[in-house]
Amino acid sequence: MGQQSGGAAIRVGVIGAGVMGADHARNLHGAVVGATVTALADQNRPVAEKVAAEIDAPRVFDDGLDLIRSDDVDAIVIASHDSTHASFALAALELGKPVLCEKPLAPTVDEARRVVQAEADTGHPLIGVGFMRRFDPSYVDLKQAVTSGDLGDILVAHCVSRTVESYPGGDSASTVTNSAIHELDIVPWLLDSPITQVSWHAGRSSRNSGTRQDPQLLLLRTESEVLVTVEVFLNARYGYDTRCEVVGEVGTAALTLPQRIVVDRERARGVAYPADWIPRYADAYRLELQEWVDALRAGRTSMLATAADGLRASVVAEAVLESMRSGGVTVDVPN
Amino acid sequence: MGQQSGGAAIRVGVIGAGVMGADHARNLHGAVVGATVTALADQNRPVAEKVAAEIDAPRVFDDGLDLIRSDDVDAIVIASHDSTHASFALAALELGKPVLCEKPLAPTVDEARRVVQAEADTGHPLIGVGFMRRFDPSYVDLKQAVTSGDLGDILVAHCVSRTVESYPGGDSASTVTNSAIHELDIVPWLLDSPITQVSWHAGRSSRNSGTRQDPQLLLLRTESEVLVTVEVFLNARYGYDTRCEVVGEVGTAALTLPQRIVVDRERARGVAYPADWIPRYADAYRLELQEWVDALRAGRTSMLATAADGLRASVVAEAVLESMRSGGVTVDVPN
Amino acid sequence: MGQQSGGAAIRVGVIGAGVMGADHARNLHGAVVGATVTALADQNRPVAEKVAAEIDAPRVFDDGLDLIRSDDVDAIVIASHDSTHASFALAALELGKPVLCEKPLAPTVDEARRVVQAEADTGHPLIGVGFMRRFDPSYVDLKQAVTSGDLGDILVAHCVSRTVESYPGGDSASTVTNSAIHELDIVPWLLDSPITQVSWHAGRSSRNSGTRQDPQLLLLRTESEVLVTVEVFLNARYGYDTRCEVVGEVGTAALTLPQRIVVDRERARGVAYPADWIPRYADAYRLELQEWVDALRAGRTSMLATAADGLRASVVAEAVLESMRSGGVTVDVPN
Amino acid sequence: MGQQSGGAAIRVGVIGAGVMGADHARNLHGAVVGATVTALADQNRPVAEKVAAEIDAPRVFDDGLDLIRSDDVDAIVIASHDSTHASFALAALELGKPVLCEKPLAPTVDEARRVVQAEADTGHPLIGVGFMRRFDPSYVDLKQAVTSGDLGDILVAHCVSRTVESYPGGDSASTVTNSAIHELDIVPWLLDSPITQVSWHAGRSSRNSGTRQDPQLLLLRTESEVLVTVEVFLNARYGYDTRCEVVGEVGTAALTLPQRIVVDRERARGVAYPADWIPRYADAYRLELQEWVDALRAGRTSMLATAADGLRASVVAEAVLESMRSGGVTVDVPN
């Protein structure tokens, strides 16, 4: 839990005022203790100005680099286009300013590696990566079930990640690097063991998905020899749905569909699915930001995914893409 | 959502450093934007000092009246013993300081009425009553289902309020005034109609409940002629469990047991019950406090239960007690 | 379990070829071991002929009395209009032929009493009453949970009986004598204690229910001092729904909505409700008939509700009607 | 539904009086219309005699071949050791007697092929294979959801088959040929398309499973290009659990855990798992036998799995074993 009176608020600058950036800015302003949004940046300046007005943020920039250099900014949230993540992160590291970078840390492994190296050169863990599922109360409970020992050693796990519809412009590869990437981070976190082997599988594809293979099936193996199936289906239509079951020697545990009320109507008993990730992970985003700010104020390392975690997820994603390009062969993930 | 940068933080004093008071203080410190806890008071000073140290609250008082009068305190949370609520509220009203008073507003109808009158005399809605269920996301969704019209007009409702064990020292009457009181507030809020008639019913009582009648059954009728059953069972042992179903002309909606994970072990598929109200209503308490602070900072009336709501709940509770004393006769609730 | 090869099949005559009678006849023919339907009777002869042709029943009568007297009939199922139950039952008793009489045993307490007396005069338990819920696997499991002691002593129970729409021609009284009668039988069976006190309550009535009060609320008390709430709502529209929860000193048990599959579509996860009692209680009807036939073949007393049980349910229903006519006063059920 | 009066009862002989054989015999005797068990055979004669006495079966044999040849036997249920299935089936075919053969039709593909050929030579569909899941009401509903079109075209499916503990004496291969074989039959039935490609995968194995790889993961592909994951875990300990989800272009459907009551105790809300397949598939076995008998009496082809279906399942199992032996390579299933 945060520290409100114990020191000045962290002055945060948010780069990117799209859906994710605006959501972070609003959370920092209205739901996270100990931070104040002092600046917003967006290539499309009016978008940034609109959000800034809404939350009384005093400064607006066109260029994220100007925001990073601003004396009014202590810490930076990077929520701009994926292709810009690495260069903004490197600029912040140069000034020794802490960063919360939306996933992915970088679109390519090489760039991610460069960021990890640059952070190492500073000697400080300045970068947190926005794998927010680590702060989702359901995943936290699931991890607690795993570590409690109540299930025995974990042997197998099954993940499902379905969304209502894919964003325009993506392809089969971006399903892995943008969507499945969440599983590539959360599975090792949950099982406390890195992914060492992957394969990619495809069958019939939805007619709603154009040329993108959808759904896709990944088969992962952790260093601890746990087999993990991952179904990613972006145009599942029926709802936004994250599932995960871990199967141990004496029991299993699984995420439930978050549900507050149940409704009986028209011959059915039903529970509503969220339409997208915003309602599903609202608590996770808030708690992630609060932990980030609390750690900054306390001068301690946060519990966010590290730059190394972000790099590792990208390395695993690259191995999945190699399997995809090679007709589904099993690929060892390089160290 | 709160306003962090838009003006100074509200300086809150918390009276009572027991379970509820400490919880409010910690929330205000670490999870609510725009407030700072500047003072704590408790008859048992070391208890207040301990919480104050934990959250860096600078001042500690033995006497809540001193806290209320302190220049460092803009607004007051009353979480002390029920018997003190009214006098502290009246003292705060005298100074024109806003109050969040834990339920009940007062242990007797007369005292509650005096507080309502005193607030009216100030000409300002200075008092909010801590009926936190109004901020519970599940109840909010349930009310949304009611007002959406999807269920048709509501005809009947069923409430169940069960806890693991009763507090020592209570009796059959306190089951109504301390526990069922939540239903006496939430039912009219949910159905948008006051309770006008009540009766109290008792059958076999648990051997775990001493001389207290437990469970108890209330039958309520709203002005809109909705019949409502309420079972209150304090020593239900199995878990902390709040249920509510509203039944309309074409459908029903009901609270679910909040569940994040499901576990398969030892021949059963199970979902855990919370042990008490703290985990069950953690979000509700946080959101209630945030709304209270946001409203204070914005100079608007908050969405908390009003002093009149608090009085009304006490009036209905008094009618239930009259039925209890009269062997279960139906009692009209006075206006 | 039945005995197929151990003796001749019971030759059953079914009086009434409406929905219930035809269902019984088809079950006896195709799903119950050890019985053969040798005759059907219906005032509306073509209806009986149609069913007889379907199941190869050799004889058809216009008059149930002729069927009862037929030498081809060993045992009789009475599924004709309620008003005829008692006279057919008496006629069968006169000939010493066993009877499975659909509920109610008789539309009035006086008639039911006459049947009970006539059966007593034969010295043999010749009559079973069709309270099929006693054979519903869910209720059987619920009773097992009650008697296991795992819940501790039962203190309170809650029943809900909702149907999609009421039959034409009924009124507020027939809701009790035709529908709630199932609860008036199953509650004492479940709790192993007779109902000794009742009251009837009404609030807002559905606009879909004409002049019939719908829903209705009953408050029952057993000899063992268990309080039971019963909501009966015939025009609930959303589905056919029987609920029952028993609450004990250390735990509760409840019927679930029977569900074989769950479907995710259009932003909802849903389970289908049955449209009426036929699918909901298909197993119960089959198992009830099998038990009746098995007991007849084995020459033992069956586990069906007895004539005395049928009478008792009618006596309790009469007490509920008295409460209804008297504005909801509490009525003691005569012994 | 059966035909009781329409013709003589089928005189059935049951070979094998172990768990499965005794269960079939009891069902035929007490719960299936139109059949009578006239003979039982078991190498261990006293076992057969015990069951025979219980159900009044007049004849007992040591040798199944004698039972097959008996003039008192019209039709044969083969529930003896897997290794005997083919020879008994061939003997029955020689005499033109219909057979319900427990799965597998034969332990090897060659033997199964011989049975299929022998049946073809008779010109009559004399053999039904005991893949009882086809008669499980939940699977029937699931297939109905698939064929209804409500889910759109099916793209992916996920199956899980877990049991409490494995039988002694098995190995990794028998997990496939004895347990996963159910999925190898039901998946093509459900999706109406044969399995054309398989691969076998293994990770960490339970310490409760000795040298048997457990759990195992199969990846199947149907001719219609649906990808199917199958987890088989025999020593799952927590309960007997069959899961299946089909995922279509606009929705999904899945088996539920069959549940009649839910129990609240000791801080948990729980539903019980069956301990083994007997309670889980009790209805399926009864309905399968009833359909077999009904079809025999009506002189029509039954809806049971055919000998060709049984052969196909064995061919697919053999392909899975080839993948197992080859380190998980993808194997095409021969036609």
Q: Do B154 and B276 lie in a common domain?
A: yes
SS3 D217: strand
Whether residues A72 and A149 fall in one domain: no
Cβ of A263 within 8 Å of Cβ of B271? The answer is no
Do B183 and B266 reside in the same domain of the chain? yes
* Domain identity same for B157 and B273: yes
Q: How far apart are CA B136 and CA B138, in angstroms?
A: 5
Same domain, A82 and A197: no
pLDDT value for C117: 98
C257/A239 touch (CB, cutoff 8 Å), yes or no: no
Summary mean pLDDT of chain B: 96
- Work out the average pLDDT over B172-186: 97
In the predicted model, what is the mean pLDDT of residues A61-89? 97
Confidence of residue A138 (pLDDT cuts 50, 70, 90): very high
Query: Which residue range(s) make up the domain with D17?
Result: 10-130
Nearest CA-CA distance, residue C236 and chain A, Å: 10
| pLDDT tens profile A193-203 | 999 999 999 99
**What is the percentage of chain B residues whose pLDDT exceeds 70?**
98
Contact A156 D330 (CB under 8 A): no
Q: Say yes or no for a CB contact (<8 Å) between B264 and D272.
A: no
Burial bucket for residue A85 (CB in 10 Å: 0-12, 13-18, 19+): buried
CB contact under 8 A, A241 and C264: yes
Instruction: Supply the CATH number for residue B242's domain.
Output: 3.30.360.10
Residues A207 and A231 in one domain: yes
Query: Cβ–Cβ of C249/B206 closer than 8 Å?
Result: yes
Q: Do C153 and B207 touch (CB under 8 A)?
A: yes
The stretches of chain B forming alpha helices (DSSP H) are 19-30, 45-55, 64-69, 85-94, 109-122, 137-148, 172-174, 181-191, 277-280, 282-298, 307-325
Whether residue A295 is contained in a domain is answered as no
For residue A293, tell me if it sits in a domain: no
pLDDT digits (tens, 9 = 90+) for B288-328: 999 999 999 999 999 999 999 999 999 999 999 999 999 99
pLDDT of residue B107: 86
Burial class (CB in 10 A: 0-12, 13-18, 19+), C140: middle
For residue D229, the cross-strand partners are: D158, D219
Q: What is the DSSP string of C65-88?
A: HHHHH-TT-SEEEE-S-GGGHHHH
Contact D203 A330 (CB under 8 A): no
State which residue of chain C sits closest to B251, comparing Cα positions.
C238
The band of C7, judged by pLDDT with boundaries at 50, 70 and 90, is low
Interface test with D, best of A195, A204, A219 (most D CBs within 10 A): A204
> Of D70, D95, D130, which closes a domain?
D130
For residue C96, the Cα-to-chain-centroid distance in whole angstroms is 23
Whether A173 and A210 map to the same domain: the answer is yes
Average confidence (pLDDT) over B83-87: 96
Mean pLDDT of B143-155: 98
**Do D138 and C261 count as a contact with CB atoms less than 8 A apart?**
yes
Confirm whether C125 is domain-assigned.
yes
C-alpha distances (whole Å) from D314 to each of B154, D178, D215, D317 are 58, 10, 20, 5
Residue C327 has pLDDT above 90, yes or no: yes
CA B49, distance to chain mean position in Å, is 26
* Amino acid at the residue D210: G
Segment (H or E) for C13: strand C10-15
Residue C22 lies in a domain: yes
Alpha helices in B76-171 (DSSP H): 85-94, 109-122, 137-148
**pLDDT given for residue C2 in this prediction:** 41
Q: What is the pLDDT at residue A2?
A: 42
Give D43 to chain B, closest Cα distance, Å. Answer: 35
Please check whether residue D214 is in contact with residue D237, taking contact to mean a CB–CB distance below 8 angstroms.
no
Does the structure show a pLDDT above 60 at C23? yes
Please indicate, yes or no, whether residues D108 and D150 belong to a single structural domain of this protein: no
Which of chain C's residues have a Cβ under 8 Å away from the Cβ of B236? Answer: 247, 252
Which residues from A are below 8 Å from D when comparing CB atoms? 152-156, 158, 160, 201-208, 215, 217, 219, 221, 224-227, 229, 231, 233, 235-238, 247, 249-252, 328, 330
What are C241's two structure tokens? 């729904």
DSSP conformation class of A175: I
Chain B environment of A1 (Cβ under 8 Å): 26, 29-31
pLDDT at C335: 84
Token look-up 């009649």 returns D260
Q: Is B257 within the bounds of a domain?
A: yes
For the segment C103-132, the average pLDDT, to the nearest whole number, is 96
Q: Do C272 and A268 touch (CB under 8 A)?
A: yes
Residues in chain D within 8 Å Cβ distance of C150:
263, 265
List, for residues D79-133, the tens digit of each pLDDT value. 999 999 999 999 999 999 999 999 999 989 999 999 999 999 999 999 999 999 9
The CATH number covering residue A78 comes to 3.40.50.720
Q: Do C239 and A272 touch (CB under 8 A)?
A: no
Residues A119 and A206 in one domain: no
Among D107, D130, D153, identify where a domain stops. Answer: D130
Residue A141's SS3 state is helix
**Interface mutation vs chain A, best among D155, D198, D221, most A CBs within 10 Å:** D155
Q: What percent of chain A has a predicted confidence (pLDDT) above 70?
A: 98
Residues D119 and D155 in one domain: no
What average pLDDT does the structure give for chain A? Answer: 96
Contact D229 A229 (CB under 8 A): yes
Q: Which chain C residues touch D4 with a CB distance below 8 Å?
A: 9, 28-30, 32, 35-37
**Which of C68, C100, C130 finishes a domain?**
C130
Give the residue from chain B lying closest to D264, CA to CA: B238
Q: What's residue D7's pLDDT?
A: 65
Could you tell me what percent of chain C has a pLDDT over 90? 96
Q: Give yes or no: residues A69 and A215 share one domain.
A: no
Q: Which residues of chain D have pLDDT under 70?
A: 1-7
Reported ipTM: the value is: 0.95
Does residue A1 lie in a domain region? Answer: no
Calculate the CA A193 to chain-centre distance: 18
Classified as helix, coil or strand, A109 is helix
> What's the pLDDT tens digit per position in A3-48?
454 468 999 999 999 999 999 999 999 999 999 999 999 999 999 9
What does the alpha-carbon distance between residue A232 and residue B82 come to, in Å, rounded to a whole number? 54
Q: What is the pLDDT of residue C107?
A: 86
Identify the helix (H) or strand (E) that includes residue B244. Answer: strand B241-248
Of C5, C252, C264, the CB nearest to D252: C264
D145 vs D149: CA distance, rounded Å: 7
Would you state the pLDDT for residue C169?
Answer: 87
With respect to residue B245, please indicate whether it lies within any of the assigned structural domains: yes
A239 and C273 in contact by Cβ < 8 A?
no
User: Looking at the domain assignment, is residue B3 inside a domain?
Assistant: no
Nearest CA in chain D to A205: D155
Q: Could you tell me which residues come within 8 angstroms of residue D14 by beta carbon, excluding any fewer than 6 positions away?
A: D21, D24, D25, D28, D37, D39, D40, D41, D76, D77, D79
Q: Three-class SS of residue A19?
A: helix
Residue A271: list chain C partners with CB under 8 A. Answer: 268-270
Interface size A-B, in CB pairs within 8 Å, comes to 136
Model confidence at C3: pLDDT above 70: no
Task: For D160-202, write each residue's pLDDT tens digit.
Answer: 999 999 988 899 999 999 999 999 999 999 999 999 999 999 9
Beta bridge partners of D306: D128
Do D153 and D272 have their domain in common? yes
The number of folded domains in chain B is 2
